[in-house]
């Protein structure tokens, strides 16, 4: 993993869907600190995935800029962007019947010259990533034979072999059973020890309070708000964000968030 932290700043950013009269984001400005873990939370439709895609440069803002380490993301070539930043999506549709190793090696593409196949060193990096996420023994297994939790670990391994300075994860614990969710949280806690900038979206406040240094609250029709986790994950702000009553109780040195009826 990289040893230099990477800040991300959004300046006067506005974004609207084609043919929409309403901006999803309007004049948004915030800076996501490098080397920390920042969680994006908010209701469906508030823009969590879209914000990740704007940071990646996959979507173009109506106005404003996204800067990674001081550079406008639109000025960075796709190959360099692939070495700088990686995404772990919720899921991915695969056109071919890859093995686990073949698929993870796709993450080495930004480091390879055109038409050059992965070499021994690339395979070493891929196997190391698979070991890191705990599924090295699956390297020759077809992706079609994996469970949902195993596939999510493969997606993380593919992102890790890019050796990014920024790692984006779109709801990494979504639809996982308790055992796989616990494994995912442990993996993310391990990644927090590196200098990579982690940004993840989540619908699960308990996961956020365990992982986040900073939180961005995304509220429909209102400006997103960035702050320290302990300042953002409080009942009044969560109630305002989701539009329902929220209570927070302490148990075993953890904060448990309850959605009141």
Q: What is the pLDDT of residue 141?
A: 95
Determine whether 157 is exposed, middle or buried from the number of CB atoms within 10 Å of its CB (0-12, 13-18, 19+): buried
d(CA 164, CA 5): 10
Helices 178-191 & 148-161 angle (0-180, nearest 10): 10
Q: Which residues of the chain have pLDDT under 50?
A: 1-2
Domain definitions of the chain by residue range: 8-259
In whole angstroms, how far apart are CA 53 and each of 95, 207, 242? 22, 22, 23
220: left (phi over 0), alpha (psi -120 to 50) or beta: beta
Helix (H) or strand (E) holding 202: strand 197-202
CB atoms within 10 A of CB 89: 15
Check: CATH 2.60.40.10 for 8-259? no
Q: What is the pLDDT of residue 1?
A: 47
Q: What is the pLDDT of residue 140?
A: 95
Q: What is the pLDDT of residue 251?
A: 65
């Amino acid at each position: 993993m990289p040893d230099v932290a990477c800040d991300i700043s959004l300046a006067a950013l506005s974004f609207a869907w084609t043919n929409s009269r309403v901006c999803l984001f309007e004049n948004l400005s915030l800076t996501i600190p490098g080397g920390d873990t920042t969680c994006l939370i908010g209701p469906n439709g508030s823009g969590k995935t879209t914000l990740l895609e704007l940071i990646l440069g996959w979507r173009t803002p109506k106005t404003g800029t996204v800067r990674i380490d001081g550079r406008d993301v639109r000025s960075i070539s796709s190959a360099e962007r692939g070495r700088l930043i990686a995404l772990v999506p919720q899921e991915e549709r695969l056109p071919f019947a890859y093995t686990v190793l073949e698929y993870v090696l796709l993450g080495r593409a930004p480091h390879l010259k055109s038409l050059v196949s992965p070499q021994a060193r690339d395979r070493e990096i891929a196997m190391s990533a698979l070991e890191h996420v705990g599924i090295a023994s699956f390297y020759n297994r077809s992706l079609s034979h994996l469970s949902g939790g195993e596939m999510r670990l493969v997606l993380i391994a593919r992102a890790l072999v890019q050796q990014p300075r920024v790692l984006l994860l779109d709801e990494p614990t979504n639809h996982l059973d308790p055992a796989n969710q616990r494994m995912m949280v442990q993996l993310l806690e391990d990644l927090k020890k590196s200098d990579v900038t982690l940004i993840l979206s989540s619908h699960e406040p308990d996961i956020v309070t365990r992982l986040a240094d900073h939180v961005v609250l995304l509220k429909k029709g209102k400006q997103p708000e960035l702050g320290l986790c302990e300042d953002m994950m409080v009942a009044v702000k969560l109630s305002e964000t989701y539009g329902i009553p929220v209570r927070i109780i302490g148990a075993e040195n953890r904060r448990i968030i309850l959605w009141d009826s």
